[in-house]
Amino acid sequence: MNLDAIETQIPILGPAKIPSPIRHNIKEHRGAGFVSDSENVAVSVDMSELMRQVEAGKKPPYFELAGPRKNIYFDPSKLRCALVTCGGLCPGLNDIIRSVVLELYFGYGVRNIYGIRYGLRGFIPKYGHDMIDLTPQVVGNILDRGGSILGSSRGPQSFDEIVDSLERMNIGILFMIGGDGTLMAASKIADKITKRNLKISVVGIPKTIDNDIHMVSRSFGFDTAVEVSTQAIEGAHNEAQGYPNGIGLIKLMGRHSGFIAATATLALQDVNFVIIPEIDIDLEGKNGFLRTLEKRLELRGHAVIVVAEGAGQHFFSDGIEEKDESGNIKLNDIGPFLKGKIQSYFKSRKIEVTLKYIDPSYMIRSLPANANDSVFCGFLGRDAVHAGMAGKTKLLISHWNNCFVHVPMELSAGKRKHVIPYGKLWRTVLESTGQGSLKNT
């Protein structure tokens, strides 16, 4: 990590002069419970890198610690807030909505909280989507519901129209819950707000089931995805064991990063092959995947394969890159492709196999969060409220080095986190599966 290129300063709308109302909810002992901007978390825990910075006369970069501030910027009695969920569904969206609403309402006394329907489209007048008044009664029993009570959408919308809508509604804090595309949109919306000299805070809550947002060590929904993925792996393993030369093939989520596939493999160590976007493999050849799979069947009589949805795109040779409404490249479907290749290979070898293909992706996305994710969402939502009330803007709430911190949007937007090919996670996967490199050279 190049610490020299990291800028961690968080923009603020102005001085925070109003005593926080949550002082009445916290037993104070020398300011206990409140966090100051001087409390920081090191970006890197690499001691050699930190010493290099110190020896060069530089202060190593730190992230602001998230949490309630003693003084706030907005007057809760006059504040209006808006929440919007964007992009694909993910376990925990309703948990985030609930924690934000309850902290605003009971922690700070904010009474005007609005839910924007169907993502950023909800801001655009031509779509005609109504808002939802978000109260404790509305969000009180939504934890056991999957999806988002606000709905979602994909695709770009006019940033000028969005800011026009925020201005008309007299919104003070906008909470945007979404992935990389949403964070990039949030950053541009914040820039438009600054250009117009408006006092609107934009706070991002990073959402990606794939756990691939840069400078975010863990994202909500990931724990649930891994848990449910292990159930799919268990089913595939049982199916594979039930037939001579049985093969269970599971496609899991992971467009650009293989964190779900790798972590689920380690959670239930019945997997023999893991294929992820970060690691290229060969299909054919002496050490390629198909021949290695054949050796596995000769040795044990069954095999379980996990493939991330974004893996193996180099196997598709048409070179055509279609994009969805959000500008994401449409992936070729590696699951059926791999299924067909396996079946063709063993047919050509006159070896009878029984292959069962499982794709639990959309079922996982729309499930309620598990207990760990629900607790995690509570921290994220409340810290997002604390940041917004203090007048901080153009930031996201991140979990970093085991702490919740403020990260500038520009530091994360447009960048992705990947499984490191020579890192501990992938090395442990290789040790668990024994699959080898699956490369001929």
Q: Show which residues are catalytic.
A: 210
Q: How far apart are CA 433 and CA 2, in angstroms?
A: 33
Q: What is the maximum span of the chain, computed from C-alpha positions, in angstroms?
A: 78
Strands, sheet with 273-275, edge to edge from the N-terminal-most edge strand: 273-275, 302-308, 246-252, 354-358
Six-digit token pair at 146? 């999957």
Six-digit token pair at 88? 């694909």
Supply the angle between the helices 289-300 and 334-348 in degrees, to the nearest 10: 60
**Is-contact 185 155, C-beta < 8 A?**
no
Six-digit token pair at 118? 């169907």
Amino acid at 185: A
Q: How far apart are CA 216 and CA 399, in angstroms?
A: 6
Residue with token string 């001691």: 47
Q: What ranges in 211-357 are assigned the alpha helix state H?
A: 222-241, 259-267, 289-300, 334-348
Q: How far is CA 337 from CA 227, 295, 329, 330, 342, in A?
A: 26, 21, 18, 15, 9
What is the number of alpha carbons within 13 Å of residue 347 lying toward its C-beta?
7
Six-digit token pair at 182? 């949403």
Q: How far apart are CA 119 and CA 146, in angstroms?
A: 16
Q: Which helix (H) or strand (E) holds 65?
A: strand 62-65
